[in-house]
Every structure is written in C-alpha cells, then in structure tokens.
C-alpha cells in the first residue's frame, strides 16, 4: 500500500541557552539554541511520523518556519514510495522550485528549510524500515546511494560514475567496519569546555572533568583580542596537557590577513586546526590562510551553504578538514554528495555538531562516511557538545571520547512531546513565563 504524506507540521522550538552563555563565540555572543521542527504525518495508520529539524540560534527561527511552510505544498499529497523511487529527483523538486529558488538558490533560510524536510523524509523512511538512518544507507547499493544525489554543478569535480566507483571500493568491506563501530564507537572531540562566555574557572573545571572521562581532543573559541586568545590557549594547554589535541575556532571573526597574524601568534600552543578563520564564503581567502599557516590545519563548513562551495574549497586546496552541518546543507542527500567529494579529494570530514540535535544527526553521517564512503578514521572526529540531549527520544551516547552507535530506528532527531510543548516559541510554558 502506498503511503501518502498527509500533513507537514512546523514548530518553532527555542531553548534559552543564552542565559548560561553555552554556545557563545566571537560572533554569536548570546545564542538560544533553536530548531525549526518538522513532523511529517502519513495516511498509513501505523503511528509512524517523520521528524526533521533545521538548527538556528534563536531569532530568525520563525523565518525558517515560514520557508518550511513555503516548501510544504511540494511534499504534502505525494507518496513516500514516489520519493524513495527517485531521491535525487525529490531533492531537485525542493531546491529547484521555480519561484522559491530565487530567495536562495540553495542557501539561507530556504536551504535550511529544505534540510528539515529532507531529513524528516529520511527519518520516516528509516522508521518504516526499522533501522537507524546510518544502517538504512549502509544497506543500500552504491548505485542506490548515488541515486540520492543531484549531481548538478558537480560534474567538473565528481561525476556519478566516479561516485559509484568510490562507493564500490568500500562495498565489500562494509560489514567489518560496521562491526568495528558497534564494538568501539566513532571518535569525537569536545567543544563544550571552551565557550567564549565561560569564565576561566569553569573552563578549567570542564577540561578536568572531560579529561577524567577519557576525552583527548578539545576545542576552544578564539576571537579578535590577541592577548586574550593567547591567555586562554595557555590555560587550555595547561589543563589538557601537551598530548591532547587542541582545536581553535574563530567563528568568522577575522579578515584574511588578521587570521594569519592571529594564528602565527597562537602557533606555540600547537593547534590542530583553526576553524572558520574568516568569511564562510571566502574560498580563496581560506586557501591563502592555509598556505600561510601550514602545518596548522584549516577547517570550515558549518556556514558553507551547499555542495558547490565545498567543491571549490576542495578544488582550491583551501581546507584540511571539511565540517559541513547537516542542517545547513539541504539534508542527507547533499551531505552524501559532499562526503563523496571529500573522499575524491582525500579531505577528512569532521561534521559540525553541538547546537540542538546536530550531534544526533552527525553521528549517522560520520558512520555512513566510514562504513560506505571513505573507509577511514584518519584525522576524523565528530564534534561533541554536552547540551540538550535530554530533549531527544534517542539521544546520542558518548563514552570516553567516542560516540556509541545509535540503534533506534530513524535519524535520532525526534524530540519529547513535553520538550516541544514547553519550549515552543512564543507560547510554550518556558517563554510565557518570561
């Protein structure tokens, strides 16, 4: 029996994280971690629904809700089977809508909205198959995975045939890596010790706690004040020791020349990478920074809008680490495209996470990368932040610096009904009380 999508519900969910400065950085001083939350219902009568989110940091979440509602007529009334039969076609239906594409194309609110809807479809599909999304994809043939990808604008860097060849290379050994992941988990690094707005004592205490729990990879925020950056880097190194990895994140604070100067000053603290040293749109700028500060790695991606930007970051030799965000890209279909581009260019993917639900998404995508696409863990690490997981029905589990493999059906993104009700903006109990 075909299953028709009968309803798309979009809810504006905001967590008041700005009160604790969790998530604060050089450019985003007061984030309220938020989700434009999508629920797809069907006529199947089996109680299964698809959940998807896009992540924002508060104000503007309502703009994503408006964009989701603008896309909804493309999804409501069609069958899940017709979507699954042509996943790439479905993706282009959303991203290529002849009027809506004007307000992107493939960027900003409309692309964030696309992510929420596309990933809700994956969640629904995986629940029906009673598999976690990573497993659903791991059971697909190379041709089926490639069939999820819209190769428009990629063919000068990656053709469909090349993508299939990459996937075939890892196909025979998928089950060994799946077994390994179930045994040991996927490597991770921790961000939530080093938010910009945290006082020194809190950073020290969190570093000690994380070290004690087995973490060996840490990220700190840096910004425009050179002396403050150096002071905090010294503090972090003191706490985590010389052998732990230390990543730094500038969150777009610098011009190209400034990034080079700041990172030369921070080089003695041995950063593994500098993340978002400048504008996320500045491919050539990242390439110039990378040339100047080697061997410090350059990382970016959480604000890179789409596969075309990532294609160029790789073509230009601009990055050592690819950090796409599973809500910024237009859902898993486009994430698969970037995983394949990264495999072709031999760039490790370390997805952006943290926020609200981003860890939940990222674990699936990195498992797909390891099992199906790159077959490698080298220089790879999923971001981890210890916030807000309690709102999810199937929260991530992290132990001693690794994500444990999620086994529940779906994309791990469905939230508790009472969390949705409490934090719905502006009428949920949390916001009414303000």
Q: Which is nearer to its own copies, 105 or 395 (CB)?
A: 105
Cα separation of 430 and 434, whole Å?
Answer: 7
- Residue 29, interface with its own copies (CB under 8 A)? yes
Sequence-distant (≥ 6) Cβ neighbours of residue 188 within 8 angstroms: 215, 217, 381, 382, 383, 384, 398, 401, 402, 403
Cα separation of 326 and 134, whole Å?
Answer: 14
Strands (E), 15-112: 34-42, 50-56
CA angle, residues 223, 224, 228, in degrees to nearest 5: 75
- Residue 101, interface with its own copies (CB under 8 A)? yes
Number of residues that bind its own copies (CB under 8 A): 63
**Pick from 252, 323, 363, 366: which binds its own copies (CB under 8 A)?**
252
Within 13 Å of residue 54, how many CA atoms lie on the same side as its CB? 31
- Residue 58, interface with its own copies (CB under 8 A)? yes
What six digits make up the tokens of 25? 């950085």
Q: Interacting stretch for its own copies, rule CB under 8 A, among 106-114, 208-216, 222-230, 385-393?
A: 106-114
Asked if 125 and 136 touch (Cβ cutoff 8 Å), the reply is yes
Q: Interacting stretch for its own copies, rule CB under 8 A, among 238-246, 299-307, 390-398, 408-416?
A: 299-307
- Residue 13, interface with its own copies (CB under 8 A)? no
Identify which of 243, 252, 242, 296 has the alpha carbon closest to the alpha carbon of residue 274: 296
For residue 78, whether the previous peptide bond is cis, meaning omega lies within 30 degrees of 0, is: no
Q: Interacting stretch for its own copies, rule CB under 8 A, among 174-182, 197-205, 298-306, 344-352?
A: 298-306
Sign of the dihedral through C-alpha 241, 245, 251, 257: positive
- Residue 12, interface with its own copies (CB under 8 A)? no
**Pick from 44, 63, 93, 140: which binds its own copies (CB under 8 A)?**
63
In the residue annotation, 221 being an active-site residue is answered as yes
Cα separation of 132 and 125, whole Å?
Answer: 10
What six digits make up the tokens of 356? 């609200």
Report the nearest approach of its own copies to the CB of residue 132 (Å).
28
**Pick from 56, 138, 229, 300: which binds its own copies (CB under 8 A)?**
56
Report the nearest approach of its own copies to the CB of residue 248 (Å).
19
The secondary structure element, H or E, covering residue 281 is: none
**Pick from 13, 17, 31, 191: which binds its own copies (CB under 8 A)?**
31
- Residue 285, interface with its own copies (CB under 8 A)? yes
- Residue 49, interface with its own copies (CB under 8 A)? no
- Residue 67, interface with its own copies (CB under 8 A)? yes
Sequence-distant (≥ 6) Cβ neighbours of residue 1 within 8 angstroms: 44
Q: Interacting stretch for its own copies, rule CB under 8 A, among 107-115, 171-179, 265-273, 384-392?
A: 107-115
Backbone angles phi, psi at 72, to 5 degrees: -50, -40
Q: Interacting stretch for its own copies, rule CB under 8 A, among 44-52, 105-113, 230-238, 379-387?
A: 105-113
Q: Which is nearer to its own copies, 98 or 201 (CB)?
A: 98
**Pick from 306, 333, 366, 381: which binds its own copies (CB under 8 A)?**
306
- Residue 288, interface with its own copies (CB under 8 A)? yes
- Residue 102, interface with its own copies (CB under 8 A)? yes
In the residue annotation, 107 being an active-site residue is answered as no
Catalytic residue among 111, 127, 219, 352: 352
Buried b / exposed e over 403-418, threshold 16 CB at 10 Å, is bebbeebbbbbbbeee
- Residue 114, interface with its own copies (CB under 8 A)? no
Strands (E), 149-300: 186-190, 217-221, 245-249, 271-275, 297-300
Catalytic residue among 131, 221, 286, 344: 221
- Residue 222, interface with its own copies (CB under 8 A)? no
Q: Which is nearer to its own copies, 108 or 395 (CB)?
A: 108
What six digits make up the tokens of 346? 């031999």
Could you give the residue numbers annotated as active site? 221, 352
Residues that bind its own copies in the complex, under the rule CB under 8 A: 27-32, 56-60, 62-67, 70, 96-112, 152-156, 252, 255-258, 278-285, 288, 303, 305-306, 308-309, 311-312, 315-316
């Amino acid at each position: 029996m075909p299953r028709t999508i009968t309803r798309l519900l979009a809810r504006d969910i905001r967590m008041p994280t700005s009160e604790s400065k969790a998530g604060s950085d050089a450019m985003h001083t007061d984030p309220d971690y938020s989700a434009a939350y999508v629920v797809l219902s069907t006529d199947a009568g089996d109680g299964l629904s698809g959940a998807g989110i896009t992540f924002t940091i508060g104000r503007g979440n309502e703009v994503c809700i408006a964009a989701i509602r603008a896309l909804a007529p493309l999804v409501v009334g069609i069958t899940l089977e017709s979507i699954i039969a042509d996943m790439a076609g479905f993706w282009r239906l959303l991203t290529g809508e002849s009027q809506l594409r004007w307000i992107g194309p493939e960027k900003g609110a409309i692309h964030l909205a696309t992510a929420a809807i596309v990933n809700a479809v994956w969640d629904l599909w995986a629940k029906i198959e009673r598999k976690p999304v990573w497993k659903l994809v791991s059971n697909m043939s190379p041709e089926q995975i490639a069939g999820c990808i819209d190769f428009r604008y990629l063919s000068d860097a990656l053709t469909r045939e090349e993508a299939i060849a990459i996937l075939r290379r890892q196909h025979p050994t998928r089950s060994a890596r799946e077994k390994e992941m179930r045994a040991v988990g996927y490597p991770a690094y921790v961000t939530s010790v080093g938010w910009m707005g945290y006082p020194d004592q809190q950073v020290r205490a969190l570093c000690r706690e994380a070290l004690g729990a087995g973490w060996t990879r840490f990220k700190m925020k840096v910004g425009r004040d050179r002396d403050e950056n150096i002071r905090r880097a010294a503090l972090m190194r003191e706490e985590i020791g010389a052998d732990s990895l230390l990543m730094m994140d500038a969150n777009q604070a610098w011009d190209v020349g400034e990034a080079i100067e700041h990172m030369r000053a921070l080089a003695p603290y041995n950063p593994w990478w500098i993340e978002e040293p400048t504008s996320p749109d500045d491919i050539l700028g990242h390439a110039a920074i990378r040339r100047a500060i080697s061997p410090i790695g350059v990382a970016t991606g959480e604000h890179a809008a789409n596969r075309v930007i990532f294609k160029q970051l790789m073509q230009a030799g601009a990055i050592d680490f690819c950090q796409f965000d599973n809500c910024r890209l237009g859902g898993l279909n486009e994430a698969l495209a970037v995983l394949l581009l990264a495999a072709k260019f031999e760039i490790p993917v370390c997805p952006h996470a943290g926020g609200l639900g981003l860890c939940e998404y990222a674990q699936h995508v990195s498992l797909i990368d390891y099992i199906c696409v790159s077959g490698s863990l080298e220089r790879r690490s999923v971001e981890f932040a210890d916030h807000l997981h309690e709102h999810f029905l199937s929260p991530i589990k992290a132990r001693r610096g690794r994500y444990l493999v999620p086994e529940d059906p779906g994309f791990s993104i469905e939230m508790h009904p009472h969390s949705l009700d409490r934090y719905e903006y502006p009428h949920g109990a949390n916001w009414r009380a303000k």
